[in-house]
Amino acid sequence: MTEYFNIKKVQYEGPNSKNDFAFKFYNPDQILLGKKMKEHLPFAMAWWHNLCNGGKDIFGDETADKSFGAETKTMEHAKAKADAGFEMMEKLGIEYFCFHDLDLVAEADDIKETNRRLDEISDYILEKMKTTGIKCLWGTANMFNNSRYMNGAGSTTSADVFCFAAAQVKKALDLTVKLGGKGYVFWGGREGYETLLNTDMKFELDNIANLMSMAVEYGRKIGFKGDFYIEPKPKEPMKHQYDYDAATAIGFLKQYGLDKDFKLNVEANHATLAGHTFQHDLRVSAMNGMLGSIDANQGDNLLGWDTDQFPSNVYDTTLCMYEVLKAGGITGGLNFDAKTRRPSYTREDMLHAFILGMDSFALGLLNAAKIVEDGRIDDFVKERYSSFESGIGAEIVGKKTKLEDLAAYAEKLGEPALPESGRQEKLEAILNTVMFG
Ligand code: XLS
Ligand code: NI
Ligand code: NI
């Protein structure tokens, strides 16, 4: 079989190694807080960015050749992509992949033919999964590229397009179950609007929820036991997207009674587009018991779009893994929803990108474990609210008070003392010492 990546399996060589094709920090079998590093970090490859995307942007053509030696849009090409993908995952020690239906095969003019192609490629992929032990993290349907989805899928203005979307979701669920996927994602790419002058927002939201409810019903019927996920994103491609951020998506799920079957797939670069930190959206999801999976990438603070970079910012990976550890881990995985920069167009660049991302998350995990073990930050937060542990504070928390009781307490007390200092600078210094000390 053709070898696409001309290297041996990437090994851990430690921080002093100068080998570009070695891990400096990701040491899969190293035990941390009672678990192997690779169990803390269930990395996944995104089929679309790595095996499909050639770097096309609105001003220019592809720079990377993703034909993998086959004529594009053929089944040979679909299989060559699978071969290359599995070779790369094996060489990097990546145990999961994520896919859209239309990452796997080219869409045909007729949905029946598209589905036949999907059956053929999923048989092929299933064989590769059996021989390599690589697993599917989640599947999804691409309901944003084709022009029929100009107004969205669940939020479309056309009942016929809605049915087409339903057909794609049904097939993508079939594929996810066939490949044993842990999750099924709804990223509402075009589920949003450009102007309220032509939009019935309430109607669109009801329809999206309806599509999701039907997906849950069908998925459970065919034996899907995993989690459904909403992946929030505030904008791009639409001006306004309904799944704006974690808090909005959770409210939506609760409103429509979908919160038992759904969790969130939080993407770093989407959280920042919504004006939050990555850590914020992770915390919002975790505190609602809905942190399911993570799209592990990073954006660029100077740009206002989803740049989908491989993570290199260790502060961010540290605070991400700190949230994950505090949440007791995730049932999903860490999907590198990320691509190499357009001028980094070679296969070596793909490997460098994953090694960067995996090492950045390994560093983040090592640091997060140190923060937890050090305990000063967690202790400070606990202490900060200690006035609610006894006396009137405990009564408030225990819901034993009325507004009149508190007013009487306040009148007797007079002007309260200022709350204790928030000590942000001290805590940031502790973080630095824990990370670099
Ligand atoms: C786009 C999204 C997309 C989803 C899957 O911004 O991140 O890649 O993860 O549809
Ligand atoms: Ni994503
Ligand atoms: Ni994204």
State the pTM of this model: 0.98
Per-residue confidence (pLDDT) for residue 285, from 0 to 100: 98
Protein residue with its CA nearest to atom 8 in ligand 1: 337
Task: Please give the average per-residue pLDDT across 244-257, as a whole number.
Answer: 98
Same structural domain for residues 341 and 359?
yes
pLDDT band at 341 (very low <50, low <70, confident <90, very high): very high
Same structural domain for residues 88 and 197?
yes
- Residue 353 sits at the vertex; the CA angle it makes with 363 and 358, to the nearest 5 degrees, is 25
- Could you identify the atom of ligand 1 that is nearest to the CA of residue 140? 10
Same structural domain for residues 362 and 428?
no
Give one word for 104, left, alpha or beta, with left for phi > 0 and alpha for psi -120 to 50: alpha
Q: Classify residue 424 as exposed, middle or buried by CB count within 10 Å of its CB (0-12, 13-18, 19+).
A: exposed
Last residue of a domain, one of 328, 356, 373: 373
pLDDT band at 238 (very low <50, low <70, confident <90, very high): very high
The string of pLDDT tens digits covering residues 194-234 is 999 999 999 999 999 999 999 999 999 999 999 999 999 99
Could you tell me the residue range of the domain that residue 387 belongs to? 377-436
Question: Ligand 1: residues whose CB is within 6 Å?
Answer: 100, 140, 185, 187, 231, 233, 267, 295, 306, 337
Distance 243 CA to ligand 2 centre (A): 13
When the pLDDT of each residue in the chain is averaged and rounded to a whole number, the result is 98
pLDDT band at 1 (very low <50, low <70, confident <90, very high): confident
The string of pLDDT tens digits covering residues 374-386 is 999 999 999 999 9
Same structural domain for residues 224 and 107?
yes
* Domain assignment of residue 13, yes or no: no
pLDDT exceeds cutoff 90 at 420: yes
Same structural domain for residues 271 and 341?
yes
Q: How many residues does the chain have?
A: 437
The total of structural domains in the chain comes to 2
Per-residue confidence (pLDDT) for residue 418, from 0 to 100: 98
How far is residue 227's CA from residue 216's CA, in Å, rounded to a whole number? 10
Per-residue confidence (pLDDT) for residue 157, from 0 to 100: 98
Distance 187 CA to ligand 3 centre (A): 9
Same structural domain for residues 281 and 407?
no
Same structural domain for residues 91 and 162?
yes
Per-residue confidence (pLDDT) for residue 175, from 0 to 100: 98
Distance 319 CA to ligand 2 centre (A): 19
Active site residues: 100, 103
> Which CATH number fits the domain that encloses residue 363?
3.20.20.150
The string of pLDDT tens digits covering residues 178-203 is 999 999 999 998 999 999 999 999 99
pLDDT exceeds cutoff 90 at 308: yes
* Domain assignment of residue 10, yes or no: no
Same structural domain for residues 150 and 73?
yes
Same structural domain for residues 324 and 413?
no
Around Cβ 309, how many Cβ atoms within 10 Å?
21
Ligand 1: which of 96, 103, 244, 267 to mutate, most ligand atoms within 8 Å of CB? 267
Protein residue with its CA nearest to atom 2 in ligand 1: 187
Same structural domain for residues 263 and 398?
no
How far is residue 281's CA from residue 268's CA, in Å, rounded to a whole number? 8
Last residue of a domain, one of 357, 373, 389: 373
Per-residue confidence (pLDDT) for residue 274, from 0 to 100: 98
Same structural domain for residues 305 and 420?
no
Per-residue confidence (pLDDT) for residue 196, from 0 to 100: 98
Task: Please give the average per-residue pLDDT across 57-70, as a whole number.
Answer: 97
